[in-house]
């Protein structure tokens, strides 16, 4: 991000935004904190080059409405990047995976394609940390808002 760039940090938790604001301190000049709703990210219309969702997509109960809001906020050709934790068992239902704070990338990919996003890349093992007792995997999907 260049000197004239801006970041919109959106969350439905006022407490999380307050903590972020405190952590940023005086360097919040290029960061605008946005209190979102469960069904509306409340991002500015048609102005964003990219939206990044990290470790939160599995939490979206109103994902259709949120994806609509993201799509409205992106410029034509803008990117949506989602990073989330992969489940150890993809046989579980979407709800069961979400309760475990995970989600199979196929669910997100289907959601994005249903919303008219063009999938740019899928990285099923974007992050892979092997520990003695378990393996932590995160996937990444990037998708582009289509240019009409």
pLDDT tens-digit series, residues 92-114: 999 999 999 999 999 999 999 99
Closest CA to 105 of 81, 122, 121, 92: 122
The 3-state DSSP class for residue 10 equals strand
Q: In what order do the strands lie in the sheet with 135-145?
A: 48-54, 74-85, 135-145, 117-130
Angstrom distance (rounded) from CA 69 to CA 31:
19
- Over residues 3-42, the pLDDT tens digits come to 788 899 999 999 999 999 999 887 767 899 999 999 999 9
The model's pTM: 0.91
Would you say residue 123 has pLDDT above 80?
Answer: yes
Question: What DSSP string runs through 60-115?
Answer: -TTHHHHHHHHHHHEEEEEEEEEEEEPPS-TTS-HHHHHHTT---HHHHHHHHHHT
């Amino acid at each position: 991000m260049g000197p004239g760039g801006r970041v919109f940090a959106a969350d439905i938790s006022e407490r999380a935004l307050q903590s972020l604001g405190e952590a940023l301190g005086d360097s919040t000049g290029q960061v605008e904190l946005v209190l979102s709703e469960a069904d509306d990210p409340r991002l500015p219309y048609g102005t964003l080059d990219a939206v990044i969702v990290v470790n939160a997509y599995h939490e979206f109960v109103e994902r259709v409405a949120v994806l609509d809001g993201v799509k409205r906020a992106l410029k034509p050709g803008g990117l949506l990047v989602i990073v989330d934790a992969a489940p150890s068992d993809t046989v579980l239902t979407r709800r069961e995976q979400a309760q475990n704070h995970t989600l199979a990338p196929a669910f997100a990919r289907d959601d994005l394609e249903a919303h008219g996003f063009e999938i740019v890349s899928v990285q099923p093992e974007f992050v892979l940390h092997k520990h003695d007792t378990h393996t932590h995997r995160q996937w990444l999907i990037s998708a582009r808002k289509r240019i009409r």
